[in-house]
Amino acid sequence: MEQNIPQNLHQVTIEGIDLDGKGIARIDGKTIFVDGVLPTEIVNIEIYKRRDKFDKARALEIITKSTERVEPLCPNFGVCGGCSIQHIDIDAQVKYKQQVLIDNLKHIGKVSTNEVLPAINSTSWGYRHRARMSSRYVAKKGGVLVGFHEKGSSFVANMSECKILPQNVSDLIPELRVLVDKLSIKDRVPQIEVAVGDKVTALVFRIMDPLNSADEILLKEFADIHHNIPVQIWLQPKGPDTCYPFYPLDVARLSYSITKFNLEMPYYPSEFTQVNPHMNNKMIELAITLLDPQKNEIIADLFCGIGNFTLPIANYANSVVGIEGSSQLVKRAMDNAIHNQLDHKVSYLVSNLFKVDENSLKELGKFDKWLIDPPRDGAYELIKAITPEIAPSKIVYVSCNPATLARDADILVNTHGYTLSKAGVMNMFPHTSHIESIAVFDR
Protein backbone atom coordinates (compact mmCIF):
# COMPACT_ATOMS: atom_id res chain seq x y z
CA MET A 1 0.00 0.00 0.00
CA GLU A 2 1.43 3.40 -0.97
CA GLN A 3 0.15 6.93 -1.23
CA ASN A 4 1.46 9.43 -3.75
CA ILE A 5 3.68 11.40 -1.37
CA PRO A 6 6.52 13.43 -2.93
CA GLN A 7 10.31 13.06 -2.59
CA ASN A 8 11.53 10.38 -0.18
CA LEU A 9 8.30 10.14 1.82
CA HIS A 10 6.04 7.13 1.34
CA GLN A 11 3.36 5.13 3.07
CA VAL A 12 3.94 1.37 2.96
CA THR A 13 2.70 -1.88 4.42
CA ILE A 14 5.40 -4.00 6.07
CA GLU A 15 5.38 -7.47 4.51
CA GLY A 16 8.01 -9.27 6.56
CA ILE A 17 11.14 -9.01 8.66
CA ASP A 18 14.76 -9.74 7.72
CA LEU A 19 17.69 -11.40 9.48
CA ASP A 20 18.65 -8.12 11.18
CA GLY A 21 15.16 -7.41 12.44
CA LYS A 22 14.35 -4.76 9.85
CA GLY A 23 10.91 -4.55 8.29
CA ILE A 24 10.57 -5.35 4.59
CA ALA A 25 8.34 -3.29 2.29
CA ARG A 26 8.24 -2.77 -1.48
CA ILE A 27 7.73 0.28 -3.66
CA ASP A 28 7.28 -0.38 -7.37
CA GLY A 29 8.86 -3.78 -6.88
CA LYS A 30 11.96 -2.45 -5.12
CA THR A 31 12.74 -3.75 -1.62
CA ILE A 32 12.80 -1.22 1.22
CA PHE A 33 14.33 -2.08 4.59
CA VAL A 34 12.71 -0.10 7.41
CA ASP A 35 14.06 0.20 10.96
CA GLY A 36 11.86 -0.56 13.95
CA VAL A 37 8.69 -1.82 12.27
CA LEU A 38 6.78 -5.10 12.24
CA PRO A 39 4.94 -7.19 9.65
CA THR A 40 1.36 -6.02 8.87
CA GLU A 41 2.07 -2.47 10.08
CA ILE A 42 1.18 0.48 7.86
CA VAL A 43 3.80 3.20 8.28
CA ASN A 44 4.90 6.52 6.86
CA ILE A 45 8.59 6.24 6.01
CA GLU A 46 11.46 8.40 4.83
CA ILE A 47 14.09 6.84 2.57
CA TYR A 48 17.55 7.91 3.74
CA LYS A 49 19.80 5.66 1.65
CA ARG A 50 19.33 4.41 -1.89
CA ARG A 51 21.03 1.42 -3.52
CA ASP A 52 20.58 -0.21 -6.91
CA LYS A 53 18.67 -3.21 -5.53
CA PHE A 54 17.21 -1.87 -2.29
CA ASP A 55 16.66 1.26 -0.21
CA LYS A 56 16.88 1.92 3.52
CA ALA A 57 14.25 3.91 5.36
CA ARG A 58 13.22 5.11 8.80
CA ALA A 59 9.69 5.06 10.13
CA LEU A 60 8.21 8.52 10.69
CA GLU A 61 4.78 7.43 11.90
CA ILE A 62 3.11 4.08 12.49
CA ILE A 63 -0.43 4.36 11.17
CA THR A 64 -1.55 0.82 12.05
CA LYS A 65 0.33 -1.03 14.79
CA SER A 66 0.97 -4.75 14.97
CA THR A 67 -0.50 -6.66 17.92
CA GLU A 68 3.02 -8.00 18.46
CA ARG A 69 4.44 -4.56 19.20
CA VAL A 70 5.38 -3.86 22.84
CA GLU A 71 6.84 -0.89 24.67
CA PRO A 72 10.64 -1.29 24.94
CA LEU A 73 11.77 -1.69 28.54
CA CYS A 74 15.22 -0.17 28.13
CA PRO A 75 15.54 3.66 28.09
CA ASN A 76 18.46 3.31 25.64
CA PHE A 77 16.35 1.63 22.96
CA GLY A 78 16.64 3.36 19.61
CA VAL A 79 19.90 5.08 20.59
CA CYS A 80 22.06 2.14 21.67
CA GLY A 81 22.94 -0.21 18.82
CA GLY A 82 22.06 -3.32 20.82
CA CYS A 83 18.69 -5.01 21.40
CA SER A 84 17.31 -3.89 18.03
CA ILE A 85 14.07 -5.91 18.32
CA GLN A 86 13.09 -4.95 21.86
CA HIS A 87 9.86 -3.52 20.45
CA ILE A 88 8.69 -7.03 19.50
CA ASP A 89 6.88 -9.31 21.95
CA ILE A 90 9.32 -12.00 23.17
CA ASP A 91 7.23 -14.89 21.80
CA ALA A 92 6.99 -13.14 18.45
CA GLN A 93 10.77 -12.62 18.45
CA VAL A 94 11.25 -16.38 18.67
CA LYS A 95 8.63 -16.97 15.98
CA TYR A 96 10.39 -14.62 13.56
CA LYS A 97 13.79 -16.15 14.31
CA GLN A 98 12.40 -19.61 13.63
CA GLN A 99 11.01 -18.38 10.31
CA VAL A 100 14.35 -16.79 9.35
CA LEU A 101 16.05 -20.14 9.97
CA ILE A 102 13.52 -22.06 7.86
CA ASP A 103 13.70 -19.45 5.07
CA ASN A 104 17.50 -19.59 5.02
CA LEU A 105 17.49 -23.37 4.83
CA LYS A 106 15.03 -23.21 1.96
CA HIS A 107 16.47 -20.37 -0.11
CA ILE A 108 20.21 -20.66 0.60
CA GLY A 109 20.53 -24.37 1.35
CA LYS A 110 17.74 -25.63 -0.87
CA VAL A 111 16.78 -28.02 1.93
CA SER A 112 13.92 -28.46 4.36
CA THR A 113 13.84 -30.11 7.73
CA ASN A 114 11.71 -33.15 8.51
CA GLU A 115 10.90 -31.68 11.92
CA VAL A 116 10.98 -28.13 13.26
CA LEU A 117 12.12 -28.33 16.87
CA PRO A 118 10.21 -26.25 19.42
CA ALA A 119 12.26 -23.15 20.20
CA ILE A 120 13.99 -23.17 23.56
CA ASN A 121 13.91 -20.03 25.65
CA SER A 122 14.92 -18.70 29.04
CA THR A 123 14.89 -15.43 30.94
CA SER A 124 14.85 -12.46 28.59
CA TRP A 125 16.39 -9.79 30.87
CA GLY A 126 19.64 -9.72 32.83
CA TYR A 127 20.91 -12.70 30.87
CA ARG A 128 24.11 -11.34 29.31
CA HIS A 129 27.10 -12.51 31.35
CA ARG A 130 29.65 -11.49 28.71
CA ALA A 131 29.90 -7.98 27.26
CA ARG A 132 32.48 -5.68 25.73
CA MET A 133 31.65 -2.10 26.67
CA SER A 134 33.36 0.86 25.04
CA SER A 135 34.87 3.66 27.07
CA ARG A 136 35.32 7.10 25.59
CA TYR A 137 36.34 10.45 27.06
CA VAL A 138 34.01 13.05 25.52
CA ALA A 139 34.54 16.49 27.03
CA LYS A 140 31.42 17.91 25.33
CA LYS A 141 29.28 15.33 27.14
CA GLY A 142 30.76 15.96 30.55
CA GLY A 143 33.50 13.34 30.73
CA VAL A 144 33.81 9.61 30.22
CA LEU A 145 31.06 7.51 28.63
CA VAL A 146 30.90 3.76 29.26
CA GLY A 147 28.50 1.57 27.34
CA PHE A 148 27.72 0.31 23.86
CA HIS A 149 27.91 2.05 20.50
CA GLU A 150 25.05 4.14 19.26
CA LYS A 151 22.96 2.64 16.50
CA GLY A 152 24.86 2.73 13.21
CA SER A 153 27.64 4.81 14.72
CA SER A 154 31.07 4.57 16.34
CA PHE A 155 29.95 6.98 19.08
CA VAL A 156 29.38 5.58 22.57
CA ALA A 157 25.81 5.87 23.80
CA ASN A 158 25.29 8.05 26.86
CA MET A 159 23.83 5.36 29.09
CA SER A 160 23.61 4.67 32.81
CA GLU A 161 22.12 1.17 32.72
CA CYS A 162 21.67 -1.90 30.53
CA LYS A 163 18.63 -4.14 30.97
CA ILE A 164 20.20 -7.28 29.50
CA LEU A 165 23.18 -7.20 31.86
CA PRO A 166 22.75 -8.69 35.35
CA GLN A 167 21.41 -5.95 37.60
CA ASN A 168 24.52 -5.70 39.77
CA VAL A 169 26.69 -5.26 36.65
CA SER A 170 24.31 -2.75 35.08
CA ASP A 171 24.50 -0.77 38.32
CA LEU A 172 28.27 -0.47 37.86
CA ILE A 173 28.03 1.55 34.63
CA PRO A 174 27.70 5.02 36.26
CA GLU A 175 30.43 4.13 38.73
CA LEU A 176 32.74 2.93 35.97
CA ARG A 177 32.27 6.25 34.20
CA VAL A 178 33.40 8.07 37.34
CA LEU A 179 36.29 5.67 37.89
CA VAL A 180 37.74 5.95 34.38
CA ASP A 181 37.26 9.73 34.47
CA LYS A 182 39.60 9.87 37.49
CA LEU A 183 42.37 7.87 35.82
CA SER A 184 45.42 9.67 34.45
CA ILE A 185 44.90 7.74 31.19
CA LYS A 186 41.14 8.26 30.92
CA ASP A 187 41.44 8.92 27.19
CA ARG A 188 43.53 5.76 26.75
CA VAL A 189 41.04 3.19 28.07
CA PRO A 190 39.01 2.24 24.97
CA GLN A 191 37.03 -0.67 26.41
CA ILE A 192 36.02 -2.55 29.53
CA GLU A 193 35.13 -6.20 29.03
CA VAL A 194 32.78 -7.87 31.50
CA ALA A 195 32.80 -11.58 32.31
CA VAL A 196 30.32 -12.65 35.00
CA GLY A 197 31.26 -15.98 36.54
CA ASP A 198 29.50 -18.02 39.18
CA LYS A 199 31.69 -16.67 41.99
CA VAL A 200 33.41 -13.56 40.64
CA THR A 201 32.90 -10.86 38.01
CA ALA A 202 35.96 -9.92 35.96
CA LEU A 203 36.32 -6.39 34.62
CA VAL A 204 39.03 -6.26 31.97
CA PHE A 205 40.35 -2.75 31.36
CA ARG A 206 42.02 -2.31 27.98
CA ILE A 207 44.84 0.16 28.68
CA MET A 208 46.79 1.81 25.87
CA ASP A 209 49.31 3.37 28.29
CA PRO A 210 50.65 2.14 31.65
CA LEU A 211 48.86 3.02 34.87
CA ASN A 212 50.56 5.17 37.45
CA SER A 213 50.50 4.41 41.18
CA ALA A 214 47.47 6.66 41.77
CA ASP A 215 45.56 4.83 39.03
CA GLU A 216 46.38 1.47 40.61
CA ILE A 217 45.05 2.69 43.96
CA LEU A 218 41.78 3.82 42.34
CA LEU A 219 41.26 0.43 40.70
CA LYS A 220 41.99 -1.43 43.91
CA GLU A 221 39.60 0.78 45.87
CA PHE A 222 36.89 0.14 43.28
CA ALA A 223 37.31 -3.62 43.65
CA ASP A 224 37.33 -3.37 47.45
CA ILE A 225 34.13 -1.29 47.51
CA HIS A 226 32.40 -3.96 45.39
CA HIS A 227 33.70 -6.99 47.29
CA ASN A 228 30.08 -8.16 47.73
CA ILE A 229 29.76 -8.96 44.00
CA PRO A 230 32.82 -9.66 44.07
CA VAL A 231 34.76 -7.79 41.39
CA GLN A 232 38.20 -8.72 40.10
CA ILE A 233 40.11 -6.18 38.00
CA TRP A 234 42.04 -7.47 34.97
CA LEU A 235 44.32 -5.42 32.73
CA GLN A 236 44.88 -5.86 29.01
CA PRO A 237 47.82 -3.79 27.67
CA LYS A 238 47.70 -5.19 24.11
CA GLY A 239 45.83 -8.08 22.44
CA PRO A 240 43.43 -10.48 24.22
CA ASP A 241 46.28 -12.86 25.08
CA THR A 242 47.94 -10.18 27.21
CA CYS A 243 45.14 -9.78 29.76
CA TYR A 244 46.03 -10.73 33.33
CA PRO A 245 44.44 -10.48 36.79
CA PHE A 246 45.47 -7.32 38.62
CA TYR A 247 43.47 -7.15 41.87
CA PRO A 248 42.43 -8.87 44.05
CA LEU A 249 44.34 -12.09 43.47
CA ASP A 250 42.85 -14.11 46.33
CA VAL A 251 39.32 -14.56 44.88
CA ALA A 252 37.70 -17.64 43.41
CA ARG A 253 38.53 -18.54 39.80
CA LEU A 254 36.33 -17.20 37.03
CA SER A 255 34.09 -20.11 36.01
CA TYR A 256 30.61 -21.15 34.93
CA SER A 257 28.61 -24.29 35.68
CA ILE A 258 26.99 -26.91 33.50
CA THR A 259 24.51 -27.88 36.16
CA LYS A 260 22.92 -31.11 34.88
CA PHE A 261 26.33 -32.71 34.44
CA ASN A 262 27.83 -31.27 37.64
CA LEU A 263 30.66 -29.60 35.71
CA GLU A 264 32.62 -26.50 36.66
CA MET A 265 34.27 -24.74 33.71
CA PRO A 266 37.09 -22.32 34.64
CA TYR A 267 37.94 -19.82 31.90
CA TYR A 268 39.84 -16.62 31.22
CA PRO A 269 37.82 -13.52 30.29
CA SER A 270 39.59 -13.37 26.93
CA GLU A 271 38.32 -16.84 25.96
CA PHE A 272 35.05 -17.49 24.15
CA THR A 273 32.18 -18.66 26.31
CA GLN A 274 28.45 -18.33 25.72
CA VAL A 275 27.06 -15.01 26.95
CA ASN A 276 23.88 -16.56 28.34
CA PRO A 277 24.61 -19.27 30.97
CA HIS A 278 20.93 -20.18 31.43
CA MET A 279 20.50 -20.89 27.72
CA ASN A 280 23.90 -22.54 27.52
CA ASN A 281 22.71 -25.18 29.99
CA LYS A 282 19.52 -25.75 28.00
CA MET A 283 21.44 -25.85 24.73
CA ILE A 284 23.85 -28.48 26.02
CA GLU A 285 21.01 -30.65 27.29
CA LEU A 286 19.24 -30.41 23.93
CA ALA A 287 22.43 -31.15 22.00
CA ILE A 288 23.14 -34.24 24.11
CA THR A 289 19.57 -35.48 23.59
CA LEU A 290 19.81 -35.01 19.82
CA LEU A 291 23.31 -36.51 19.58
CA ASP A 292 22.26 -39.52 21.66
CA PRO A 293 25.82 -40.64 22.52
CA GLN A 294 26.19 -44.33 23.36
CA LYS A 295 28.71 -46.00 25.65
CA ASN A 296 30.38 -47.81 22.74
CA GLU A 297 30.78 -44.70 20.53
CA ILE A 298 33.75 -42.48 19.81
CA ILE A 299 32.53 -38.94 19.15
CA ALA A 300 34.22 -35.85 17.75
CA ASP A 301 33.52 -32.38 19.14
CA LEU A 302 34.65 -30.01 16.38
CA PHE A 303 35.45 -26.37 17.19
CA CYS A 304 35.42 -27.57 20.79
CA GLY A 305 36.68 -24.41 22.53
CA ILE A 306 37.31 -25.04 26.22
CA GLY A 307 35.15 -28.19 26.23
CA ASN A 308 31.62 -26.80 26.60
CA PHE A 309 30.15 -29.83 24.78
CA THR A 310 33.10 -32.22 25.04
CA LEU A 311 32.81 -32.85 28.76
CA PRO A 312 29.02 -33.38 28.88
CA ILE A 313 29.29 -35.85 25.96
CA ALA A 314 32.01 -37.72 27.86
CA ASN A 315 29.44 -38.68 30.49
CA TYR A 316 27.78 -40.99 27.94
CA ALA A 317 30.19 -41.92 25.14
CA ASN A 318 33.09 -44.36 25.17
CA SER A 319 35.39 -41.43 24.45
CA VAL A 320 35.35 -37.93 22.98
CA VAL A 321 37.97 -36.17 20.87
CA GLY A 322 37.81 -32.37 20.95
CA ILE A 323 39.34 -30.61 17.96
CA GLU A 324 40.21 -26.91 17.92
CA GLY A 325 42.51 -24.66 15.91
CA SER A 326 44.14 -22.93 18.89
CA SER A 327 46.78 -24.80 20.88
CA GLN A 328 46.12 -22.45 23.79
CA LEU A 329 42.41 -23.37 23.82
CA VAL A 330 43.25 -27.06 23.57
CA LYS A 331 45.46 -26.74 26.63
CA ARG A 332 42.67 -24.95 28.49
CA ALA A 333 40.18 -27.62 27.40
CA MET A 334 42.41 -30.38 28.76
CA ASP A 335 42.85 -28.44 32.00
CA ASN A 336 39.05 -28.42 32.33
CA ALA A 337 38.87 -32.15 31.61
CA ILE A 338 41.40 -32.77 34.39
CA HIS A 339 39.60 -30.33 36.69
CA ASN A 340 36.38 -32.33 36.24
CA GLN A 341 38.15 -35.73 36.40
CA LEU A 342 37.16 -36.66 32.84
CA ASP A 343 40.61 -36.68 31.25
CA HIS A 344 40.49 -40.50 31.02
CA LYS A 345 37.60 -40.22 28.52
CA VAL A 346 38.65 -37.09 26.66
CA SER A 347 41.51 -36.20 24.33
CA TYR A 348 42.17 -33.12 22.23
CA LEU A 349 43.77 -32.37 18.87
CA VAL A 350 44.96 -29.09 17.35
CA SER A 351 43.76 -28.64 13.77
CA ASN A 352 42.72 -25.64 11.68
CA LEU A 353 39.25 -26.78 10.66
CA PHE A 354 38.90 -23.83 8.28
CA LYS A 355 41.68 -25.23 6.07
CA VAL A 356 40.96 -28.95 6.28
CA ASP A 357 40.80 -31.11 3.15
CA GLU A 358 39.92 -34.77 2.53
CA ASN A 359 43.38 -36.06 3.46
CA SER A 360 43.82 -34.00 6.61
CA LEU A 361 40.28 -34.86 7.73
CA LYS A 362 41.02 -38.57 7.36
CA GLU A 363 44.12 -38.10 9.49
CA LEU A 364 41.97 -36.82 12.35
CA GLY A 365 40.26 -40.21 12.54
CA LYS A 366 36.96 -41.97 12.00
CA PHE A 367 34.19 -41.11 14.46
CA ASP A 368 30.72 -42.49 15.01
CA LYS A 369 29.14 -39.05 15.43
CA TRP A 370 30.11 -35.40 15.23
CA LEU A 371 29.06 -32.34 17.16
CA ILE A 372 29.97 -29.11 15.34
CA ASP A 373 29.87 -25.66 16.93
CA PRO A 374 31.68 -23.30 14.53
CA PRO A 375 31.87 -19.50 14.66
CA ARG A 376 29.78 -17.32 12.35
CA ASP A 377 31.75 -18.30 9.25
CA GLY A 378 30.41 -21.84 9.56
CA ALA A 379 32.24 -25.05 8.66
CA TYR A 380 32.24 -25.05 4.84
CA GLU A 381 35.72 -26.54 4.21
CA LEU A 382 35.18 -29.18 6.90
CA ILE A 383 31.79 -30.20 5.52
CA LYS A 384 33.09 -30.23 1.96
CA ALA A 385 35.97 -32.56 2.94
CA ILE A 386 33.71 -35.38 4.20
CA THR A 387 34.16 -38.64 2.30
CA PRO A 388 32.10 -41.84 2.57
CA GLU A 389 34.96 -43.56 4.41
CA ILE A 390 34.94 -41.15 7.36
CA ALA A 391 31.34 -39.83 7.25
CA PRO A 392 29.75 -40.03 10.73
CA SER A 393 26.27 -41.52 11.09
CA LYS A 394 24.98 -38.33 12.76
CA ILE A 395 26.03 -34.70 12.86
CA VAL A 396 24.58 -32.26 15.38
CA TYR A 397 25.37 -28.76 14.12
CA VAL A 398 25.13 -25.82 16.54
CA SER A 399 25.11 -22.54 14.61
CA CYS A 400 25.24 -18.83 15.40
CA ASN A 401 24.54 -17.85 11.77
CA PRO A 402 21.56 -19.37 9.90
CA ALA A 403 22.99 -18.31 6.54
CA THR A 404 26.21 -20.31 6.91
CA LEU A 405 24.30 -23.21 8.47
CA ALA A 406 22.06 -23.26 5.40
CA ARG A 407 25.06 -23.11 3.06
CA ASP A 408 26.68 -26.07 4.85
CA ALA A 409 23.36 -27.94 4.94
CA ASP A 410 23.25 -27.73 1.15
CA ILE A 411 26.54 -29.68 0.94
CA LEU A 412 25.56 -32.18 3.62
CA VAL A 413 22.17 -32.98 2.10
CA ASN A 414 22.55 -32.41 -1.63
CA THR A 415 26.15 -33.63 -2.01
CA HIS A 416 26.85 -36.03 0.84
CA GLY A 417 23.38 -37.56 1.08
CA TYR A 418 22.52 -36.69 4.66
CA THR A 419 18.95 -36.08 5.78
CA LEU A 420 18.16 -32.88 7.66
CA SER A 421 16.11 -34.56 10.37
CA LYS A 422 15.52 -31.71 12.80
CA ALA A 423 16.23 -28.01 13.13
CA GLY A 424 15.16 -25.18 15.42
CA VAL A 425 16.25 -22.01 17.16
CA MET A 426 17.56 -21.37 20.65
CA ASN A 427 16.91 -17.84 21.90
CA MET A 428 20.41 -17.24 23.23
CA PHE A 429 20.18 -13.48 22.64
CA PRO A 430 16.68 -12.15 23.47
CA HIS A 431 15.80 -8.70 22.07
CA THR A 432 18.56 -8.93 19.46
CA SER A 433 18.37 -10.18 15.88
CA HIS A 434 21.12 -12.72 16.57
CA ILE A 435 19.93 -16.27 15.86
CA GLU A 436 21.40 -19.34 17.54
CA SER A 437 20.13 -22.60 16.06
CA ILE A 438 20.69 -26.34 16.09
CA ALA A 439 20.26 -28.92 13.34
CA VAL A 440 20.54 -32.70 13.10
CA PHE A 441 21.86 -34.46 10.01
CA ASP A 442 21.45 -38.25 9.75
CA ARG A 443 23.08 -40.59 7.28
Helix (H, G, I), strand (E, B) or coil at 35: strand
Sign of the Cα torsion 341, 346, 349, 354 reads negative
Question: 87 and 70 in contact (C-beta within 8 Å)?
Answer: yes
Question: 311 and 332 in contact (C-beta within 8 Å)?
Answer: no
**Cα torsion at 123, 124, 126, 127 (round to 10°)?**
70
By residue count, the chain amounts to 443
Main-chain dihedrals φ then ψ at residue 32, nearest 5 degrees: -120, 125
Q: Is 162 a catalytic residue?
A: no
Reference 400, options 303, 270, 299; nearest CA is: 303
Among 74, 80, 83, 400, the active-site one is 400
Q: At what angle do helices 172-182 and 213-225 cross, to 10 degrees?
A: 160
Q: Please, what's the b/e burial string for 376-407 (b: 16 or more CB within 10 A of its CB; e: otherwise)?
A: eebbebbbbbbeeebbbebbbbbbbbbbbbbb
Reference 379, options 410, 412, 354, 357; nearest CA is: 354
Which residues 6+ apart lie within 8 Å of 75 measured at CB? 159, 161
Helix (H, G, I), strand (E, B) or coil at 57: strand
Reference 253, options 267, 242, 239; nearest CA is: 267
Alpha-carbon distance 401 to 419, whole Å? 20
Alpha-carbon distance 411 to 343, whole Å? 34
Reference 261, options 285, 280, 279, 296; nearest CA is: 285
Q: Is 187 exposed, middle or buried (0-12, 13-18, 19+ CB in 10 A)?
A: middle
Alpha-carbon distance 330 to 310, whole Å? 11
Catalytic positions, written as ranges: 400
